[in-house]
Amino acid sequence: MEAKKERVSLARDKIYRLKGPAMMVLTKGRIFALGRELTSREKIVVPRSRILCFKTLEDSEVEIVVGSEGSFEEASSEEEVIDIWNTEIDRILDSKVSSVLVLGPVDVGKTTFCCFMANKALAKNYSVYVIDADIGQADIGPPTTISAGRVDKPIFSLRELKPKYMAFIGVDSPMNVKERVIAGLKLIYEKVMKYEKTDIVIINTDGWTQGSKAHEYKLAIASVINPDAIVLLQKDTPELDNIIPVLRKMSKLFILPSPKAAKARDRYERKMFRESSYLRFINNLKLKAVSAEKCPLLYTHLFKGCPLNDDEKKALELHLGARVLYSEETCDRVIIIVDKPIPREKIEELRALYGKEVFIIVKGYEKGLLVGLLDKEMLCQGIGLLEEIDFDTKTLKIKTNVSSDPQYIAFGQVKLNEKGEEIGKFRDWFL
Ligand SMILES: Nc1ncnc2c1ncn2[C@@H]1O[C@H](COP(=O)(O)OP(=O)(O)OP(=O)(O)O)[C@@H](O)[C@H]1O
Ligand SMILES: [Mg+2]
């Protein structure tokens, strides 16, 4: 059944929840949402599996269209946090902080809070930047990146911000790349502080908070930023509790509640979100040839070793029963590119023979690998999809919309098609 447009009258000082997919237009009155007032006739779209909470400041009227999985309901003020967040954000902003780090587990509303705070700071005429360091559910840049964007108008989503500085991480979860995330965040934060006139920088983080490894990682993030304020959003069970005393001493710590109705997104919804995010950054792709000799490659062993000699190559071809298109040896591994799949036992035999790691890759396997095109300062100019590697000339053919010439290419650990769909994932430095 098709969703119908409804005109709804809303009483003043009430809190409502609009669950997506849904659309709303304010036709009369005043409504406060995400730290800002809606303007008359402004159209708000709430995507599937998202919830917008708002409060009426006057008797109001809205036009609403709710999709089949969406809903619209009045909320009790005890279960919603809009008033608490509003008051606490005023308190944080009044304490004249210039950097705010937002921490908390998954689905507690960190991204929503950053948006709320950015709007409130903007309303005070602050020059506001948001850094999105959640590499899995990135909103400003594509997934697997850390990005900073300037807030120059009231927003409903961090997705509306344009990435001004971007660091490429290449992986959608921080667990195995903590150093990369910390270094990337430091790079972005320093660029914003050095080159931009800002009154406040709000830093969003990922929701990995369980266990001592996550605690140490979040502590490292807090240490490199050294923020004036830290906001920790929590549900009923405290997480990060064993670093709270340190966070409290290092900065002004605000522990705030999470909206009870915040919906946990499952793996499928997270994947769908990532794929739609990738797609925003892989349009108008053009083929670009990049020489790996001029542009060093990051996060890969490729093109770092010495080629095997012709006799060794011939012996390898005999052993493998395949054409060896490229081969090289470093201190700890041998990389061999072949024209067809090789049985596992043959690879094991080679490992024993060489006494080191042996990576055998079938030519064509590289197609779709996500790469970052970096400038001389290691800032990511944009992402691309590896189309092919020409192993004879050490040239990468990359589909990208980046027009400038990169100085480094960073290999990711995700393979995508041109619709932004994830068609493969790899472990660290897989090649
Ligand atoms: N006030 C609210 N009431 C109910 N649900 C809300 C409210 N604010 C946000 N939500 C919903 O809760 C979910 C989680 O919010 P959000 O994405 O901001 O959390 P997060 O902590 O950033 O999550 P993640 O760890 O995935 O990055 C979203 O679907 C969001 O639409
Ligand atoms: Mg988030």
**Residue 251 near ligand 1, beta carbon < 6 Å:** no
**Which residue is closest in CA terms to ligand 1's atom 18?**
109
- Ligand 2 centre to CA of 337 (Å) is 40
Question: How many whole angstroms from 147 Cα to the centroid of ligand 2?
Answer: 13
Task: Give nearest CA residue, ligand 1 atom 16.
Answer: 109
pLDDT class of 404 with cuts at 50, 70, 90: very high
- Report whether residue 207 contacts ligand 1, using a CB cutoff of 6 Å: yes
Cα 3–chain centre separation: 32
> Quick check: CB of 134 below 6 Å from ligand 1?
yes
Q: How far is CA 130 from CA 111, 167, 185, 246, in A?
A: 10, 14, 12, 24
Report pLDDT for 2: 63
Q: Confirm or reject: Cβ of 381 under 6 Å from ligand 1.
A: no
104 C-alpha to ligand 2 centroid (Å): 9
Task: Note whether 85 and 36 are within 8 A (CB).
Answer: no
CA of 132 to the centre of ligand 2 (A): 9
Does residue 112 have its Cβ closer than 6 Å to ligand 1? yes
Q: DSSP assignment of 44-106, as one string?
A: EEE-TT-EEEEEESSSEEEEEEE-TT-EEEEE-TTT--HHHHHHHHHHHHHTT-SEEEEE-ST
pLDDT at 424 over 60: yes
Q: What burial class does residue 43 get, using C-beta atoms within 10 Å of its C-beta: 0-12 exposed, 13-18 middle, 19+ buried?
A: exposed
Q: Using 50, 70 and 90 to split pLDDT, how confident is the model at 76?
A: confident
Give the nearest ligand 1 atom to 112 CA: 18
Helix (H) or strand (E) holding 116: helix 110-123
Q: Quick one: how far is CA 70 from the chain centroid?
A: 26
Biggest CA–CA distance in the chain, Å, is: 85
Token pair for residue 260? 């009870």
Model confidence at 49, pLDDT cuts 50, 70, 90, reads: confident
* Residue pLDDT, tens place only, 101-129: 999 999 999 999 999 999 999 999 999 99
Statement: residue 1 has pLDDT above 60: no
Index of the ligand 1 atom closest to the CA of residue 261: 4
What is the SS3 assignment for 222? helix
Ligand sitting nearest the alpha carbon of 233:
1
For the stretch 268-325, pLDDT in tens is: 999 999 999 999 999 999 999 999 999 999 999 999 999 999 999 999 999 999 999 9
Helix H or strand E encompassing 31: strand 31-33
Q: Cα of 76 to ligand 2 centre, how many Å? A: 24
Q: Provide the residue ranges of all domains of the chain, joining segments of one domain with +.
A: 5-75, 82-279, 282-431
Relative to beta strand 229-234, strand 99-103 is parallel
For residue 70, give the ligand nearest its CA: 1
Determine the Cα–Cα distance for residues 138 and 367; give it in Å rounded to an integer.
Answer: 24
**Residue owning tokens 């999709």:** 67
> Residue 265 — pLDDT band, cuts 50, 70, 90?
confident
Q: Is the pLDDT of residue 216 over 80?
A: yes
pLDDT higher than 80, residue 430: no
Q: What average pLDDT does range 200-219 have in this prediction?
A: 96
Worst-scoring range by mean pLDDT, 204-213, 226-235, 258-267, 336-345? Answer: 258-267
Residues 180-195, mean pLDDT to the nearest whole number: 98
User: Counting atoms of ligand 1 from 1, which one is nearest the CA of 106?
Assistant: 25
Q: Is the CB of 50 under 6 A from ligand 1?
A: yes
Mean pLDDT, the chain, as a whole number?
A: 95
Distance from Cα 411 to the centre of ligand 1, integer Å:
31
How many C-beta atoms surround the C-beta of residue 425 within 10 A?
13
225 lines ligand 1 (CB under 6 A): no
Distance separating alpha carbons of residues 28 and 313, to the nearest angstrom: 77
Q: In this predicted structure, what is the pLDDT of residue 236?
A: 79
CB-ligand 1 contact for 144 (6 Å cutoff)? no
CA–CA distance, 356 with 333 (Å, rounded to integer): 5
Confidence of residue 77 (pLDDT cuts 50, 70, 90): confident
Write down the pLDDT at residue 261: 87
CB 347 within 8 A of CB 359: no
Does residue 108's CB lie within 6 angstroms of at least one atom of ligand 1? yes
| Ligand 1 pocket test target in 51, 117, 232 with most atoms within 8 Å of CB | 51
- CATH (one of 2.60.40.420, 2.60.40.10, 2.60.120.1030, 3.90.550.10) for 5-75: 2.60.120.1030
Reported as half-sphere exposure (CB side, CA atoms, 13 A), residue 304 has a value of: 15
Question: 228: CA distance to ligand 1 center in Å?
Answer: 24
CATH superfamily to which 82-279 belongs = P-loop containing nucleotide triphosphate hydrolases (3.40.50.300)
- Ligand 1 atom nearest 233 alpha carbon: 21
